[in-house]
Amino acid sequence: MRGKRKEFKLNNKSYKQLFESLYPELCVFAYKYLSDLDIAKDVVQEVFVKVWEDDIAFHNENHATGFFYKAVKNKCLNYLKSKQYRVTERYEPANLEAYETGQFYMSEGVVIETTTVINKAISKLPEKAAQVIRLSIEDYSNNEIADQLSISINTVKDHKKAAYRKLRGFLGFLNMG
């Protein structure tokens, strides 16, 4: 006979920490289902509010994280199935079936985790280099980055070169080859 598991209740501080760490990732996750950032944010906020109002207990922090991902996924799928979405977005059942697969859920989880790791690595860069890389990721050209940051194109190139070198060091563990 197994002993009763101790439950992990969210107090104000732990709830706030969980919200701050998971909210951005969950918004990206929801966006992959909904293709609308405002609706994705609403869905994630609704899940957090529901957890707080229902005073849900978890086995541990990892269980809480998994719970939030599953709750957001289910809320997204419910939204996609809703009459409102079908009317406004020309609902296609075939797309919804693809979203419900475990493979889609796992691949989106990998994308989110990888994005989080990369963002953490970028945040370790010097401020200007991090700005250059973020703008570069958003498809800004070197000229546009130079204009945006009021620096020369050669400085943009130098920041990129140094940043890529550091990022290879920070992210070397991701090399699977």
Tokens representing 91 are 């609902």
The pLDDT tens digits for 43-87 are: 999 998 888 888 777 776 667 778 888 899 889 888 887 755 554
Q: Residue 67's pLDDT is what?
A: 85
Domain ranges of the chain: 1-123, 125-177
Question: Token pair 């909210």 is at which residue?
Answer: 23
Residue 91 CA to residue 74 CA, distance in Å, equals 17
6-21 burial code (b ≥16 CB/10 A, e <16): eeeebeeeeeeebbee
Q: Residue 142's pLDDT is what?
A: 92
Q: Residue 46's pLDDT is what?
A: 93
Task: Kindly report the average pLDDT of the chain as a whole number.
Answer: 78
Q: Beta partners for 75?
A: none
Q: Which of 111, 103, 116, 105 is nearest to 71 (CA)?
A: 105
Q: Residue 145's pLDDT is what?
A: 92
pLDDT, mean of residues 156-173: 86
Residue 7 CA to residue 10 CA, distance in Å, equals 10
pLDDT at 108 over 60: yes
Tokens representing 68 are 């939030």
pLDDT at 99 over 50: yes
Q: Residue 44's pLDDT is what?
A: 92
pTM, to two decimals: 0.48
Helix (H) or strand (E) holding 166: helix 153-170
Q: Which of 19, 34, 21, 13 is nearest to 119 (CA)?
A: 21
Q: Residue 176's pLDDT is what?
A: 47
Residue 10 CA to residue 65 CA, distance in Å, equals 12
Q: Residue 70's pLDDT is what?
A: 87
* Whole-number percent of the chain with pLDDT over 90: 19
Q: Where are the beta strands (DSSP E) in 50-94?
A: 57-58
Q: Residue 52's pLDDT is what?
A: 83
